[in-house]
Amino acid sequence: MMLGMTLSVSIAVLAMEGWAGVREGFSLGMDTLRTAGVPFFLGIVLAGLIPVLLTASVVTRWMGEGSGLKGVLFGSFAGLLTPGGPYVMFPIAASLFKSGAGVGSMSAFSAARQLIPVNRVIVWELPLIGATFPIARSLASIPAVFIAALLVPLVLKLIIRTRKKPD
Amino acid sequence: MVNYILAGLLVVTLASVYRKEGRKGVKAGLQSSARTVLFVTPFIFIGVILAGMVEVILPGELISDWMGEGSGLRGILIGTAVGMLIPGGPYVVVPLIASIMESGAGPGPVAAFFTAWGVVPISRTLIWEVPFLGVAFTAARVIVNLGFPILVGLTTPWIYGLFT
């Protein structure tokens, strides 16, 4: 599917911008790979090692189903601190899920990591945008983390229930 | 900078694993990592090329024209839509945000844009999230998070106003 998408968009670029556009697109992609390659590799290795440290019992106790507010807070905290891009965040999230983290906690993890990641705010937002807007946006985003932790598990249950219904 | 942080975390993690589980633990952990790398590498390659292609054809003026101060809910909705469509990392989006704010985009639409790009970007969700976290969780998360760009877009100007 991804290959199909890539090919179709590449053809669109060819039609709209010619071969120069395709070359530019490819080189932009390679730039990303160059920037992202090392952190990605490090992130994956990190994600592989985490289950050894954070054993299933630890993750389940602090972030498992039914851990309630504690799980949400731990998930949020972990999310805030996780650096790198999607190539780091998602392997780590998958790893935590596998070790027993609950949906509520991981929803908080994702929301915190995507809305107010400490690394991105300090390294990118503050230097380029200033302090006022990032701080205002971050404060405005805090309720969203808790809304996610509350509602995503409910929606997921609905989805699973709908899937199970015989046609 | 991120690399140093990650490398540091990695060293600490390796040391902790070794202390806890010895050589065998480190080996098991690294083997699991190797399996993931092998699985994911083709996705990354295709994904970055896709993102690069989209970056070439996405029109830049759309953003500055429609997200100005006082564009109200329309500006927020447009910011949301653009944020969902734009691929690329913070090294693409944050400078873009800095420049459109300078060109007069209001805090509401920009917050909606940034939030949408953060929580419900179409490219990242399809390319990265579904393979790692599955369709069901991703769908549930996206459905709930879809409301956030509008929520944050509406509340940010108010908080921003308190500071300025």
Interface test with A, best of B5, B6, B86, B125 (most A CBs within 10 A): B6
Written in H, E and C, the secondary structure of B149-162 is: HHHHHHHHHHHHHH
Average pLDDT over residues A16-26: 84
Distance, in Å, from the CA atom of B48 to the CA atom of B130, rounded to the nearest integer, reads 16
Start-to-end C-alpha separation, chain B: 31
Task: Say whether pLDDT at A167 is over 60.
Answer: no
Interface test with A, best of B40, B67, B115, B141 (most A CBs within 10 A): B141
The pLDDT mean for chain A works out to 85
| Per-residue pLDDT tens digits for A124-135 | 788 778 889 999
Q: Give the residue extent of every domain in chain A.
A: 37-164
Beta strands in chain A (DSSP E): none
| ipTM of predicted assembly, 2 dp | 0.76
Beta bridge partners, B68, equal B105
Q: What is the pLDDT confidence band of residue A111, given thresholds at 50, 70 and 90?
A: very high
Give the predicted TM-score (pTM) of the model.
Answer: 0.74
Residue B86: the pLDDT is 86
The pLDDT mean for chain B works out to 83
Closest C-alpha to B6, from A114, A93, A94, A42: A42
Q: Give the residue extent of every domain in chain B.
A: 1-40, 58-163
CB atoms within 10 A of CB B123: 19
Average pLDDT over residues B51-56: 60
Beta bridge partners, B105, equal B68
Residue B70: the pLDDT is 66
Structural contact between residues A68 and A19, judged by C-beta atoms closer than 8 angstroms: no
Residue B145: the pLDDT is 97
| Per-residue pLDDT tens digits for A27-36 | 877 876 777 6
* Minimum Cα–Cα distance from A47: chain B residue: B33
Distance, in Å, from the CA atom of B6 to the CA atom of B8, rounded to the nearest integer, reads 5
